[in-house]
Amino acid sequence: MATSITVKNLTKYFGDVKAVNDVSLTIESGSFLTLLGPSGCGKTTLLRCIAGLEDPDGGEIYIGDKLIFSHTRGISLPSAKRELGLVFQNYALWPHMKVEKNITFALEIQKLSKEEMQRRVKETLAEVQMQGYEERYPREMSGGQQQRIALARMLAYRPKVFLMDEPLSNLDARLRMDMRAELKRLHHSSDATTIYVTHDQVEALTMSTRIAVMKDGILQQLDTPDVVYHYPANLFVADFIGNPKVNLLNGVVIGDKCVRVGSFNLNVDTGNASGEVVVALRPEDATISTQPDPDAVEFNVYSVLPSGSETTIVASRDNVEITVKEAGVSKIKMDDKIWLKFHPHALNLYDKESGDLIPYKN
């Protein structure tokens, strides 16, 4: 049932702007791929190209083994024949049709029997927990309910690929959490190949099997959430993912496995790096101590921001500012002295000029 998708060298211009710039990626059958990036990075355009709503200016797209788009060969299958479903950010339910009609619209085109249509309506409404809403008009439902119906509408005609364009961004924070869990469950049970567009890195990290980070139309990194989070391919990805933000510290390689940052040294695998580098450190990757420790670096506490489950601490030392996190409510107060210990393998080094990750030697 599920199928893979292959995108090769896809390019799309809007005027002189390359909205999608030579993007190649493969989405394995049954996986949940998130296209992640800031607004204007080309993620939605890429999705729309796959959906057949935009015509790319170069490259090829396959669904399974089937070539559905090729610029050089002049092939472009209409959306209807690509066997995919799309959920829109603003739901796009047809306002003049009741829920039932919204769902059966596509089924009528597939010429299903009346009984089959009824069965599908019941089935999909149950799947999104909206039983009994058949006779409602879209405007008679809340945003969250409308989004569930939009989902049901897509599920009902059983496309091979699910495309979702920021489906949760119009919902409030609570509802978004609930829907995330449900979408993940849905993907788990249907096993359909899913491409999910979002600018919310938490959404990407929590839901995907793979994340593709994009910027200015160019694919930055494509990997599992774990790798993208812990080993961002470049400074942009490192900075975009994670909350609170990653610490990016300017430093100089002063020896094998040693980088000088401001007035202290960090022990880290420097790979083949030399000269100026940027050290990236996740806030949760430092051990905080209130007692002096010869292996740790002394910092002054600039600010303490508790948020219940964790406490964010901003510490500084000679113009170097570091954000760290501690679980629970911290006893540390502003202007305290703390000692931070950094785990060598939690630190990533980036080339200052290119911004690319410098791989470890070992």
From the number of C-beta atoms within 10 Å of its C-beta (0-12, 13-18, 19+), residue 239 rates as middle
Q: Is residue 218 classed exposed, middle or buried when 0-12, 13-18 and 19+ CB atoms within 10 A define those classes?
A: middle
How buried is 283 (Cβ within 10 angstroms: 0-12 exposed, 13-18 middle, 19+ buried)? buried
Smallest separation (angstroms) from another protein to the CB of 64: 18
Instruction: Please give the Cα distance from 323 to 133 (Å, whole number).
Output: 48
Whether the CB-CB separation of 166 and 197 falls below 8 Å is answered with yes
Cβ proximity to another protein: between 69 and 264 the closer is 69
Min CB(66)–another protein separation in Å: 16
* 95 vs 294, beta carbon nearer another protein: 95
Specify the residue, 75 or 126, whose C-beta has the smaller distance to another protein.
75
Bond before 244 cis per omega within 30 degrees: yes
In terms of CB distance, is 197 or 349 closer to another protein? 197
Nearest distance from C-beta of residue 157 to another protein, angstroms: 6
C-alpha 237/C-alpha 239 separation (Å) is 5
Tokens 């920021």 -> residue: 166
Helix ranges restricted to H, the chain: 43-51, 99-109, 114-127, 143-156, 173-190, 201-207, 225-230, 235-240
- Which residues sit at the interface with another protein, rule CB under 8 A? 14-15, 51-53, 55, 71-76, 78-80, 84-86, 88, 90, 92, 94-96, 105-106, 109-110, 153, 157
Closest distance of CB 330 from another protein, Å? 45
Contacting residues for 16 by C-beta, under 8 A, at least 6 apart: none
Nearest-approach distance from CB 53 to another protein, in angstroms: 6
Q: How far is the CB of 79 from another protein (least distance, A)?
A: 5
Q: How far is the CB of 62 from another protein (least distance, A)?
A: 17
Ranges of beta strands (E only) in 30-83 are 32-36, 58-63, 66-70, 75-76
Indicate the residue among 90 and 287 with the shorter CB distance to another protein: 90
Q: Of the two residues 98 and 230, which places its CB atom closer to another protein in the complex?
A: 98
To the nearest whole angstrom, how small is the minimum distance from the Cβ of residue 163 to another protein?
A: 8
- Per DSSP, 198 falls in state E
Which burial class, exposed, middle or buried, applies to 92 when counting CB atoms under 10 A from its CB (0-12, 13-18, 19+)? middle
Min. distance of Cβ 109 from another protein in angstroms? Answer: 5
Query: For the chain, how far is it from start to end, CA to CA, in angstroms?
Result: 42
- 82 vs 282 by CB, closer to another protein: 82
For another protein, give the closer residue by CB, 102 or 247: 102
Pairing mode of beta strands 161-165, 17-27: unpaired
169 backbone dihedrals φ, ψ, rounded to 5°: -75, -15
CA torsion angle for 19, 25, 29, 30 (degrees, to 10)? -60
C-beta of 74 vs 132, nearer to another protein: 74
Within 13 Å of residue 289, how many CA atoms lie on the same side as its CB?
A: 13
